[in-house]
Each structure stands twice: as C-alpha cells, then as structure tokens.
Amino acid sequence: MHTRRHSVRVLTAALVGMLVAVILAGAVQGAVRPAVGSRAAASGPLDLVWISDSVGWGVAKFYGSRIEQDLGVGVRVHDKWEAGLPAATILERLRTPGHPWIGLIRNAEVIVVSGNHQGLYTGKGGNCVNTGCQRPITYGPKTWQQYIAGLKGIYRRIFEIRHGRPVILRTNNYYVPTIAHAPKSLFYPPVSWKQCGLVGVCTKCMESFAWAISRAAAAYRVPVADVYTAFNGKSHREDPVDKGYIDKDGIHQNDAGRAVFAETLAALGYEEVTPRG
C-alpha cells in the first residue's frame, strides 16, 4: 500500500513537471527572444548608436522605445543623424583617429547605420531624388560598385573598431515621397515623378539603389529594414504622402512614418551580427 501511494506521488510529480515544461516552452516561443550572447539578455541599459542622413531623422528614439518594449531593458539613444550624410563621409569619420563616433560604436549593443550614395554613384542623368525632371540614363549594377564598396567598408570598419565582437547591427534602404506629390521643401525641385513622366524609370532606378544596399549588407550578414516597401508598397509605386507618413515639407517622415520605420527595424528581430572569418 505504501509502495502504491509512493508510485502515485511520483507519477503525479512527473505529470506536473511535464505540464510546467510545456507551459514555459509555449511562453518562450511566443515571446520576443533577446539577442543571443548580448547584454539584451541582461538587465541593460543598452546603448543604441544611430548614424544616418535625414532618411532616419527622428527615428532613433522610436526604435529605442521599441527595443525597450520588446526586450524589457532601458535604452540610451545616441542619435547622430545628419542632413545629407553620405556613406563616404561616414567611412571617413570612422577611419579618423579620435573621432567621437568610434567610442560610441566600440561600446554599443545596437547600431543602425546608413548613408546616401553621394560621391559614390556613377550613373548618368538624373538620380530621381533631387534632380527634378532629369531622366536617369544609366543606373545598372556597375554604377553602384563604388557605393557598395563604401558600405562594405563601413561594416568592416565597425567590426575593426569592436575587435570582432558581435553586435546588433542593422541598416535600411530608402523610401520615395515624391511619386505623386511635389515636395514643398526649398531644397528639392517642386515636381513629382508623375508630373515628369518618370514613374517607371525612376522606380527601376530606386530599386537598383535598394539592391546595392542589400548587396553590400549581405556580404557582412547585416539585416536590411525594407523601408522602401513599407512606405511605397510591394509595387514601389504607392506614395507615402497618401498614407499620412510624410511631413509638411513633402520629403521627410512625420511621427507616423517614424513609427513605421521603427516597426520595420524591429521586425528584423535582435540577433547579433558576427563578422565573417
């Protein structure tokens, strides 16, 4: 009798243990997993370094808030966006001894970096960004080789600064706010692609731009936030102005757009990037 009661207790304990394991497994599976091997799994706070041109203006704090929400840790945001910032300038600064960005990158847990193609794009004709109705003539893979090399140089330099330590490293492509609506900014021609009859050719040009960004990122396994599709749709011909994502200047995103941008980054998860080699 004693042996029988003991067996029942053992069986009950085993069943309870199995049930708890199933419940915990389900909870973990449904939760957002922190980055493997990073301080995202600890108590924080985390340091987020954001480097971009005005495509990322104001997005850093939205992304920082989303990280806090997803990972349950505090985030210190170091927002270094700068108007018109080219990838070439980013790389130059990261190679400059004593530049303040170097220390930030060395100690960061999360880095988002992107820069435009100014000075590195060799296509002929218009660029579909700030050249008005000037039609792009060449924009194939060869025209992006220097830009791709510049972006690769940025990723390589980041890992050199960090002595190969993994980091949550992300980049993004670019949205187009001028498909159907002319910008009101003094720094851009007041015409839309539609007014200029450039929707088709400029869509192809911007898709090649996005391709170049993805090509460079793939070489270092850096996830790319597809902001282009998030703002312009799968066809890349939807105007984000009509979605309420763009500010009064007709160029830069408003807070609704920044939230979409941050959500697109967050959807990539928080796995760290480890340098090849």
Return the CATH number of the domain spanning residue range 32-266. 3.40.50.1110
What is the residue extent of each domain of the chain? 32-266
pLDDT of amino acid 277: 62
- The partner residues of 167 in beta bridges, in order of sequence, read 273
User: Whole-angstrom Cα distance, residue 19 to residue 195?
Assistant: 64
> Is 90 exceeded by the pLDDT of residue 20?
no
With beta carbons less than 8 A apart as the criterion, state whether 60 and 31 touch.
no
Percent of the chain surpassing pLDDT 90: 82
> Tens of pLDDT along 143-200?
999 999 999 999 999 999 999 999 999 999 999 999 999 999 988 999 999 999 999 9
The pairs formed by 182-188 with CB atoms below 8 angstroms and a separation of 24 or more are 182/250, 183/249, 183/250, 183/251, 184/248, 184/249, 184/250, 185/249, 185/250, 185/251, 187/130, 187/251, 188/130, 188/250, 188/251
**pTM of the model as a whole:** 0.85
Label each residue of 22-62 as H, E or C: HHHHHHHHHCCCCCCCCHHHCCCCEEEEEECCHHHCCHHHH
> Is 80 exceeded by the pLDDT of residue 218?
yes
User: Whole-angstrom Cα distance, residue 217 to residue 68?
Assistant: 25
pLDDT of amino acid 71: 97
Question: How many CB atoms are closer than 10 A to CB 61?
Answer: 15
pLDDT, mean of residues 109-128:
97
